[in-house]
Amino acid sequence: SQQGEEDPQALSIQEGENATMNCSYKTSINNLQWYRQNSGRGLVHLILIRSNEREKHSGRLRVTLDTSKKSSSLLITASRAADTASYFCATPHYGGSQGNLIFGKGTKLSVKP
Amino acid sequence: DAGVTQSPTHLIKTRGQQVTLRCSPISGHKSVSWYQQVLGQGPQFIFQYYEKEERGRGNFPDRFSARQFPNYSSELNVNALLLGDSALYLCASRLEGTGASYEQYFGPGTRLTVT
């Protein structure tokens, strides 16, 4: 079963607007990762946040983590048409190795020029 | 440096046939994981291999098997193909060890269609 669940399933915005995606998970984690996937191809790692961190920034990306609510959010600021992709959160399988990631169903982001 | 490579890119097979998918990790990465991604879903973990040994297995039937070679490349085999095996198969490599980052590096995937 999938641990992470992203919300919303789809999001359509105009260029320049901000996009916020949320993720919920079920078990204890030591880190949470966000990945991007373009057109059903390979995934690209965006950002990782550890369980002892509450917020992390990378360029136009901002990730928050609330371990008490078992939730995370990804904010993309000043979106561009090139940000159009599916975004997934992923957490290591509880009790498993870091090579075993559990992904949510993803948020499909469409940024219109 | 080359990223994770997978072959073939696309594959069409008939029900009941067998298929072998191949993956070469990033140089220096000894861990390889396989994922299945059905259309509209997130990737689902199948196997992880590290130093040629199976480190983890997802909830997949025994028709799925994998192995890792001394050069750390890996193969995923699926026997007795079913229509439901149609998916994008992703390989990811990771640098294991003390202080290694948790992130995984994914290949472009192999699109398998079973007819």
Q: What is the CATH number of the domain that holds A14?
A: 2.60.40.10
Q: Copy the structure tokens of residue B51.
A: 């130093």
The domains of chain B are located at: 5-114
Tell if the CB–CB gap between A99 and B108 is shorter than 8 Å.
Answer: no
- What's the CATH code, domain B5-114? 2.60.40.10
Sign of CA dihedral B41, B5, A38, A55: positive
| pLDDT tens per residue, range B73-82 | 999 999 999 9
Rounded CA separation A40/A64 (Å): 26
| pLDDT tens per residue, range B24-78 | 999 999 999 999 999 989 999 999 999 999 999 999 999 999 999 999 999 999 9
Asked if B114 and B13 touch (Cβ cutoff 8 Å), the reply is: yes
Mean pLDDT of all residues in chain A? Answer: 91
Domain that holds residue A33: 5-112
Rounded CA separation A73/A76 (Å): 10
Q: In total, how many domains does chain A have?
A: 1
Stretch 56-115 of chain B: residues touching chain A, C-beta under 8 Å: 56, 58, 88, 90, 92, 94, 96, 101-109, 111
What is the identity of the amino acid at A5?
E
Closest CA of chain B from A18, distance in Å? 23
Q: Which residues of B touch A103 (CB under 8 A)?
A: 35, 42-44
Rounded CA separation A38/A57 (Å): 22
Rounded CA separation B114/B111 (Å): 10
Closest CA of chain A from B90, distance in Å? 7
